Amino acid sequence: MATTAQMSAPEAPRPAAVETAYRAARERYAALGVDTEQALRRAEAVPIALHCWQADDIRGLERHAGGGSGGLLATGAHSGAARSGDEIRADLDQAIRLIPGPARVNLHAMYAETGQARVERDALEPRHFQAWIDWACERGYGLDMNPTCFAHPMVRAGATLSSPDKAVREFWVEHCRACRRIAAAMARATGGEVYYNLWIPDGRKEPPTDRWAPRERLRESLDALLRRRVAGVIDTLESKLFGLGLEAFTVGSHEFYLGYAVRHGRVGLCFDLGHFHPTESVADKISAVAPLVPALLVHVSRGVRWDSDHVPLLTADVQEVCDTVVRAGREARVGWSLDCFDASVNRVAAYVVGARAVRRGLLRACLEPADALRSLEAADRGAEALAWREHRLEAPFGAVWDYLCLRAERPAGLGWLGEVNRYEREVLARRG
């Protein structure tokens, strides 16, 4: 048996072997009533966004030090963290070259590039993101945008948009408005829609005396900044069960944002898979709110005990979300983005592992004979539907996935590891 020191990154399967295996798999799936070519087209078409903050451990590019983290923490000290916008973009380029399917890039406001000037967050303009916009247009990437309502001195007493201090609230409202203008500029430049997603760290470590007033203030702040629709911008609100330093009370809870989105009518919801209790089903929540809100965004992360932002894997939770969306034929209506920050592993590899996991989940969902299963359930033959779902685990899914990678000109299997290792030796290791 080879030791760890002796192991090297495996090569990608040979194209001829991939094609042979795929032909056999196509016949197996056809016997189940599944057209693999149609499934491949559906799974390949869905854009997946990579989040810029994994590349540098959520440090950002601002010219001044921020305040508290707002409950966000990237742990670990793996070498090679990006130190500039150019290095983050290089890392994203490298990851996207190893991930099949169309790509988007998800940005936070703290990644503005302002040269030597100090620009406060409420004064940010589209020109401070011009390098990102030019790069995305050149590469054909979509863009998404997030206000950064954490790691700043104006996060006071654990509050931003819900603060009892009017000056604090107004600062963050102006920051969020500025980010919507930036999102609109991104939409015009790229010719596509931009998800504008808002998460705030407001809450308390211990139970507060008054839970109503902070939420009234948050509602007023949201009304002020979301009053008008912005062309090309899809507004979403991201809830969280709790975070570091706000274990007892989270102002922007799922129930609050759901109520706000339904009342507002033009605002969608973001579901981060790590932001709910482990016994809750995010897939069920998505199907429950889909008829009620205009837009849905899924942040794919992986919760481990109390921590919410580990590198995504194709877990049962991720597969269930993919199944739910694909069975409804709504995969194009839902936005998909990674959202993790792990500084203990190669950060480029984290992107590749996470995004390929999401793409595999979508493909597996597209390979399910959903129409046949619905017919069985309608005929009250539920046991047979269960048997068919279990049988899906025996189908030669890996052969179809390898073929998807082959025709997308991306490494199949673990063939991408060698390229990541090369990039680490030649690029990341030189960063220290």
User: Mind listing the pLDDT tens digit for each residue in 111-158?
Assistant: 999 998 999 999 999 999 999 999 999 999 999 999 999 999 999 999
CB of 406 closer than 8 Å to CB of 18? yes
Please provide the DSSP assignment of 405-418 as one string: HHHTT---TTTHHH
| Percent helix, strand and coil across the chain, each to the nearest 5 | 45, 10, 40
Summary mean pLDDT of the chain: 92
Q: Is residue 140 part of a domain?
A: yes
3-state secondary structure 350-377: HHHHHHHHHHHHHHHHHCCCHHHHHHHH
**CATH value at residue 58:** 3.20.20.150
Q: Is residue 185 part of a domain?
A: yes
Total domains in the chain come to: 1
Look up residue 399 and give its amino acid: A
Strands (E), 155-218: 194-198, 203-204
Alpha-carbon distance of 179 to 183, in angstroms, equals 6
User: Mind listing the pLDDT tens digit for each residue in 247-259?
Assistant: 888 999 999 999 9
Q: Is residue 372 part of a domain?
A: no
Q: Is residue 182 part of a domain?
A: yes
Is 71's pLDDT higher than 80?
Answer: no
Alpha-carbon distance of 390 to 384, in angstroms, equals 10
Alpha-carbon distance of 187 to 221, in angstroms, equals 24
pLDDT band, very low/low/confident/very high, at 5 (cuts 50, 70, 90):
very low
Alpha-carbon distance of 290 to 280, in angstroms, equals 17
User: Mind listing the pLDDT tens digit for each residue in 10-29?
Assistant: 777 898 999 999 999 999 99
| More confident: 377 or 77 | 377
Is 200's pLDDT higher than 80?
Answer: yes
Residue 79 CB partners (closer than 8 Å, separation 6+): 428, 429, 431, 432
Chain-centre distance for alpha carbon 174: 25
Averaged over 85-92, what is the pLDDT? 98
The domain in which residue 110 lies consists of 47-367
Alpha-carbon distance of 246 to 234, in angstroms, equals 28
Alpha-carbon distance of 60 to 20, in angstroms, equals 47
Catalytic site positions: 199, 238, 240, 272, 275, 299, 307, 309, 339
Nearest to 66 by CA among 144, 154, 179: 154
Q: Is residue 10 part of a domain?
A: no
pLDDT more than 70, % of the chain: 95
Alpha-carbon distance of 125 to 101, in angstroms, equals 31
| Secondary structure (3-state) at 189 | helix
Q: Is residue 432 part of a domain?
A: no
Sequence length of the chain is 432
Q: Is residue 176 part of a domain?
A: yes
Nearest to 41 by CA among 415, 326, 267: 326
Q: Residue 30 corresponds to which tokens in the numbers above?
A: 């056809």
| Secondary structure (3-state) at 303 | strand
Alpha-carbon distance of 409 to 403, in angstroms, equals 10
CB of 218 closer than 8 Å to CB of 252? yes
Cα dihedral 160, 166, 170, 171 in deg (nearest 10): -60
pTM of the model: 0.93
Look up residue 364 and give its amino acid: R
Burial of 62 (0-12, 13-18, 19+ CB in 10 A): buried
pLDDT more than 90, % of the chain: 76
Q: In 10 A of CB 177, how many CB atoms?
A: 17
State whether the Cα torsion 350-108-253-192 is positive or negative.
negative
Is 245's pLDDT higher than 80?
Answer: no
Is 72's pLDDT higher than 70?
Answer: no
Instruction: For 146-165, give one letter per residue: b (16+ CB within 10 A) or e.
Output: bbbbbbbebbbebbbbbbee
Q: Is residue 87 part of a domain?
A: yes
